[in-house]
Structure formats: C-alpha cells, structure tokens
Structure 1
C-alpha cells in the first residue's frame, strides 16, 4: 500500500540528508509496561497512522507499507542497553521504533520517530494516540489529517499577500570541531519548576514567547563563544496554530516550516533588549508571511513535477543551517497516561547531529523545562555543547531574576 508524501515530508528529506531524520522521546515509568498491551496499542494506532510501518521512498516522495510486523517496531531490551546506536534507516525500515528497556522495578520507553513522517508536535500527538490505544479507548472516530493544501488555502485567506523578496539567511556561524573518537552523546540541562515558573512569569509580563527567549539566549551563547554579532538561527512556525481542528482529528504530519532569523547580537546589549529584538523579527516574519509564498510554490511543484526536478529547484533556496532549534513545547500529562502506570519523567530531543552541527531541543514536562541535544562527535565536542546549554540556562535565569528585581523595586518606589 502506498501513501503519498506531503510537501514538508520532502523538505525534511532534503534538510536531513547528512543525518538520520529522527526524533527521540524518553519516558520513565514507575512500574513495568504490559508488552502485549503495548503491541496491541501499536497495531491499533496503525489503523489511524498506517505510515508508521512504512518505508519512505525519497525518489517518489511516498510511503510504502509492505508488512505490519509489530515486533519490528516494539523491541524489548534489558538495562543498561542503550538504543542510541541502533542503525536507523527510514528508507528501508519503519518510521517508528519503540524500545522498552527493563529495569528491576520499572521500565523506560525510548521512542524514535521519523521526521520524514511528522514534526515535533506530531510526534507528541502520536504518543498521545498510543496512550489512548494502550488504555483501550475508542479510536474509531479518529482520523489523521496529513494534507498541507487545506492549511495553505486557509492561510492564504487569513494572511496578507506575502512579499516577493525573500530575505536569505546570513553566513552561518560555525562551531569549532575537535579531533577525537566520534561517539554518540546525549546532553541535557534542566530548569526546575521553580526556575521555569519565574522565566514564564517574566516572559508573560513582557508579552514574549518562551521559545523567543530561549532562541535569544541561544544566539547570545553563540555570540559569546564565537565573537560573531550576527547569528542566523531557524525558528519553527507551527501551522496548527493558524488552523485548529476538531477533537476527532489528529495531525501526525509535517506541518511546521522554518523561518530564518538574522539576529543582531551587539556585545554590550542587555539580554532583555535581545529578547525584544527576536520577538520583533518573528512578528515581522509572521506578518509578511514569506514562508507562505515558498510553501505555495512547493505545493504546486509537489503535484506537478517529478521529485528529481523538485529537488533541483528546492535546493536553490533551501538553507541547510548547521545550528538549529526545535521546540517540542509542553507535554500534556493528562494525555500521556498509560493505564495503571505513572510517567515519572518525559524528555523529547532531536536527531543525532554530527559535530560541528548542533540542534537544541526544548520540552516541558510537569513544569520542568529540559534543554537537550544529541550529537555525534568527540568528548570535547560534547563538552562544548554542554557549555552552550549552560550559557543558555544562565542567560534565562539572570534575565528572570534581574527583571523580577527591577519590577519589585519599581513597585516599591511607586508605593513611596
């Protein structure tokens, strides 16, 4: 059975040609999963998203399902096995792998999903769907909507005519690359619920998004590290925000496109000013809707041109940036409940990027925000990645504390 690929599936294939296009989620349970129940849930979810069993045919931008062997997707292992070194190949294998790692008293579920099939939000949607199936909820009224065309049509009516001039990304900032044995590394750092609550409070008071603040901190960390005062970073635009659906529809699909922000980061500029600068850049991008004109052209090509020709045209403007950012957002604990089990922790992250490329991912679970990266490189490369995460964390904490102190002082002065 063949399932036609969408425009952004093709774009993600091009953007991830140098690395395996996967996303990773790690769920820690307080007890053991029922494996047979999990396998049944996977089969049930495949009634809604059959592409999880498919291999992707890049030359035709389509998914092909030849078999539905659930044991290919659900793999049981014993601790301390680590699935990061598994040989993922979504062109010959399925778009989903679930590793259940048994510990003495509990299980860890590591889920890996193809970015050719869905984006970060769609990955979460699939795990919510899997939880519903595990709970034996009725899925017969659910359908998965992968089409981009209805969203484009609606956006064209909602947005003003996009400008014809496309602002191209600046010269990409490159991180140093250190020699050594290349290994797979997982790096993460956390903002506690108390710390993140303060960051959220300040962001809300200044009417900026959490992702905008994180991106500003990322740009500042890169400026400090490299000395560059113009940092180009991609920012994800999720079209689901523009076109809500009903409760009977899930969207396990690629519905996120990137805009490229050329962020000016003067050495002595206050971080608060930098956050407002990023906010203004994004507001401009959304208003001028450059991403929409590109999508319209891609959508037309996807239905009229051979993939080989489409690839040639797309490469002319498709920017492959070595430094990227992915926001998985808030993980809904109520929707991630598996029958009889408690999820103690859940963290999402992106692909394993060969250094000096780097992808920072943000996800929030139980009020705690985790910043993470997955890399393939030397130990010194890993330490550099951790230094960047620590710098981002420090920028956000100082911002929240300094701004909070200033606001408190202002209130006190007004009282006198």
Structure 2
C-alpha cells in the first residue's frame, strides 16, 4: 500500500542528502519493559500511523508499506550495545526504529524516527500515542492528520499573502573543520530544574520565549568562538499553533516551517539587548510570513509537477543550513506513564551531523533542560561543539542571575 507524502516530507529529504534524516529519543526506565507489550503497542499505533512501517520513495514522495513485521521496528539488545552506531536508511527500512537496551535491573528505550515522516512535535505526539497503546487505551476513534493543505488554508486566512523576498539567506558563519579520525560523538549539557526555572522566570519577565533566549545564547556563543559579528540562524515555526486540533486527532507529520534570523552580535553586546533583538526579528519574520509564500508554491508544485522538476526548482532557493536548531519543548510527564514502570529520564536530540555542520537540540523533562548535539567528526570538532554548548549554558545562567539580582534591588523612589 502507498501513502502519499506531503511537501515538507520532500523538503526534509532534500535538506538531509548527506546524513540520515532522523531524530533520537532516549528513555531510561526504573525497571524492565514488557517487550511483547511494546510490540503490541507498535502494531496498535500502526493502525493510526501505518507510515511507520513504510519505505520512503523519494522519486514519488510517498511511503510504501508492504508488510507490518514488528520485529523490523522493535529490537532487543544487551548493554553496552550502542544503537546510535546503526546506519539508518529510511528508503529501504521503516521510518521508526526502537531498541530496548537491557541493563541489570532496568531497561533503556532508544527510539529513532525519520524526519521524512514527522517533525520534532510529531515525534513527541507519536511517543504519547505509543504510551496510550502500551497502556491498552482505546484508540479505535483516533486518526492521524498529515495533510498540509488545511494548514495552508488556515494560514492564508491569518496572514496577508506576502510578496517574494528574494532567495532564502544562507548562514553567514561556518564552524572550522579539523582534521582527524572521524567518529560519532554525542555531547550535552544540562540546566537543573532550579537553574532552568530561573531562566524561565527571566524570560517571562522580559516577555520573550525560551527559544528566543536559546537562539540569542547560541548566536553569542558562535560570536565568541568564531569572532563573526553577523550570525544567521534558522528558527522553527510550528504551524500547529495556528490551527485547532480535532478531538482524537494526532498530527504525526511535518508541520514545521523555518524563518531565518540575521542577528548582529557585537563583542560587547548586552545579552538582554541581544534577546530583545532576536524577539523583534522573530516577530517581524512571523508577521512577514515569507514561509507562507514558499509553502504555497511548494504545495502547488507537489500537485502539478513531476518530482524531478520539483527537486530542481526547490534546490535553487533552498538554503544550506550548516547551523540548525530544534526545540523539542517540554515532555509532558502526565502523558508519559507506561503501565507498571516509571520513566526516570527522557531526552530528545537530533541527527548525527557531519562536521562542521551542527544541530543544537533542546528538550525539557521533569523541569531539567538538556541541550545536546550529535556529530560525526574528529575529537577537536567534538571539543569545539562542546565549547559552544558550555558557552550557551554559561550565558543562560549568568543572564538569569543578573535578572534575578536586578529585580531584587530595592526601589528608592
């Protein structure tokens, strides 16, 4: 059976020619997982999202499901096996891979989902659906909405159709590439629940979002390490926020667009001013809604042009993105309760990017925010990426403390 792909599925295929287009999830449980129950949950979820078993055919932008063999998705392995070293090919294998890694007394679930099937929000929605299926909830009335057309229709009602605004800008700054043996690396830093709570309070006091603060810190870290004073970063825009969701409907799909923020970062820039600059730029880009112009054109091409022509036209304006950012947001603990076992930790992250490309990923669980990257490069490449993360962490903590001290000063007026 064939399931038609949407234009953003195709776009993600074009953006990930050199690396497997995947997202990662690591769940640490307090005890053992019932693997047979997990397999049954995967099969139950496939009644709603059959594409998880599909092979992606890029020449037709569709998913082909020939059979639903659950053992092609769920794998049992023993620690210290590292599933992240697997070479994923979503054109010949399912769009989802689950590895239950057995440890003494507990299990770790590592999940890998294709970006051809869903964006970061869609990956989270699938996780919640899988939990419901694992808990034997009644899913008979559920459906998955992957279509982009209703979203575009709603967006066109909310935004004036923008004029074309030239070509998409490419990132002005690039990281250096060091020589050495190329290996897979994963790096992360964490903001504890108390630290991240202070960052959230500071953001709320400034009327800005967490993503805006993270992007400001990302830009500042890049300026410090590269000396560039103009940094262009992509910021994801989730189109779900503009459209209502019907009851018993999940949206395990690609429904995220991108706006590009060109940030001016002076060496002595005040971080507060930098955050406000990012906030202003993002407001401007959202109101200009250039993503709607591109989205509408892509939708038209998807219905009228052969894929070969669509690829040719799209690549003319498709921006290269050596530096990317994904915010998986907050994982809802109330929706992450597997029957009989407790989730101790949950972290989302992105694909293994070939250096000098880098993807900064953020996810929050139990109040703790984890910033991470996955890379394929030398040890020096890894150390540079870790310096960026540590610089971001330091910027956030210093800013939160500064905002706290400023609000605590007595008013003498």
- Equivalent pair of 1:172/1:322 in contact (CA under 8 Å): no
Counterpart residue number, 1:279: 279
Quote the offset at 1:247 in angstroms: 2.8
Quote the offset at 1:52 in angstroms: 0.3
Deviations 1:315-353 (A, max 9, x none): 111102101000100001111111011000000000000
Q: Which runs of 4+ in 1 moved over 3 A?
A: none
Report the Cα distance in structure 1 between the residues aligned to 2:346 and 2:170, rounded to whole angstroms: 35
Counterpart residue number, 1:124: 124
1:93 is the counterpart of 2:93: yes
1:203 is the counterpart of 2:222: no
Map 1:4-403 → 2, pairs under 5 A: 4-166=4-166, 168-403=168-403
**Inter-CA distance 184–171: structure 2 relative to 1 (3 Å threshold):** closer
Quote the offset at 1:170 in angstroms: 4.6
Quote the offset at 1:413 in angstroms: 2.2
Report the Cα distance in structure 1 between the residues aligned to 2:379 and 2:364, rounded to whole angstroms: 27
Report the Cα distance in structure 1 between the residues aligned to 2:154 and 2:389, rounded to whole angstroms: 38
Deviations 1:26-55 (A, max 9, x none): 000000000000000000000000000000
1:413 is the counterpart of 2:392: no
Report the Cα distance in structure 2 between the residues aligned to 1:402 and 1:170, rounded to whole angstroms: 34
Deviations 1:370-412 (A, max 9, x none): 0000000111111111110000000011111111111211xx1
**Inter-CA distance 171–43: structure 2 relative to 1 (3 Å threshold):** closer
Secondary structure in 2 matching 1:194: helix
Report the Cα distance in structure 2 between the residues aligned to 1:106 and 1:339, rounded to whole angstroms: 15
Secondary structure in 1 matching 2:129: helix
The alignment of Structure 1 onto Structure 2 pairs a total of residues equal to 413
- Equivalent pair of 1:232/1:262 in contact (CA under 8 Å): yes
Report the Cα distance in structure 1 between the residues aligned to 2:91 and 2:257, rounded to whole angstroms: 22
Report the Cα distance in structure 1 between the residues aligned to 2:394 and 2:384, rounded to whole angstroms: 15
RMSD, aligned CA:
0.9
Report the Cα distance in structure 1 between the residues aligned to 2:158 and 2:382, rounded to whole angstroms: 44
Report the Cα distance in structure 2 between the residues aligned to 1:244 and 1:263, rounded to whole angstroms: 32
Q: TM-score, normalised by structure 2?
A: 0.99
Deviations 1:113-156 (A, max 9, x none): 00000000000000100000000000011100000000000110
Report the Cα distance in structure 2 between the residues aligned to 1:274 and 1:408, rounded to whole angstroms: 22
Secondary structure in 2 matching 1:344: strand
Report the Cα distance in structure 2 between the residues aligned to 1:288 and 1:265, rounded to whole angstroms: 23
- Equivalent pair of 2:354/2:376 in contact (CA under 8 Å): yes
Report the Cα distance in structure 2 between the residues aligned to 1:111 and 1:166, rounded to whole angstroms: 39
Quote the offset at 1:268 in angstroms: 1.3
Quote the offset at 1:2 in angstroms: 0.2
- Equivalent pair of 1:163/1:289 in contact (CA under 8 Å): no
Report the Cα distance in structure 2 between the residues aligned to 1:265 and 1:111, rounded to whole angstroms: 37
Report the Cα distance in structure 1 between the residues aligned to 2:334 and 2:163, rounded to whole angstroms: 42
Report the Cα distance in structure 1 between the residues aligned to 2:287 and 2:343, rounded to whole angstroms: 40
Quote the offset at 1:167 in angstroms: 6.2
- Equivalent pair of 1:169/1:261 in contact (CA under 8 Å): no
- Equivalent pair of 1:172/1:321 in contact (CA under 8 Å): no
Report the Cα distance in structure 1 between the residues aligned to 2:53 and 2:116, rounded to whole angstroms: 13
- Equivalent pair of 1:3/1:64 in contact (CA under 8 Å): yes
- Listed as ranges, the gaps of 5+ residues in structure 2 are none
Quote the offset at 1:177 in angstroms: 1.3
Q: TM-score, normalised by structure 1?
A: 0.98
Secondary structure in 2 matching 1:334: helix
Secondary structure in 1 matching 2:348: strand
Report the Cα distance in structure 1 between the residues aligned to 2:178 and 2:140, rounded to whole angstroms: 53
Report the Cα distance in structure 2 between the residues aligned to 1:330 and 1:108, rounded to whole angstroms: 20
More moved, 45-54 vs 397-406: 397-406
Report the Cα distance in structure 2 between the residues aligned to 1:13 and 1:171, rounded to whole angstroms: 20
Deviations 1:268-305 (A, max 9, x none): 11011000000000000111100001100000000100
Secondary structure in 2 matching 1:384: helix
- Listed as ranges, the gaps of 5+ residues in structure 1 are none
- Equivalent pair of 1:25/1:110 in contact (CA under 8 Å): yes
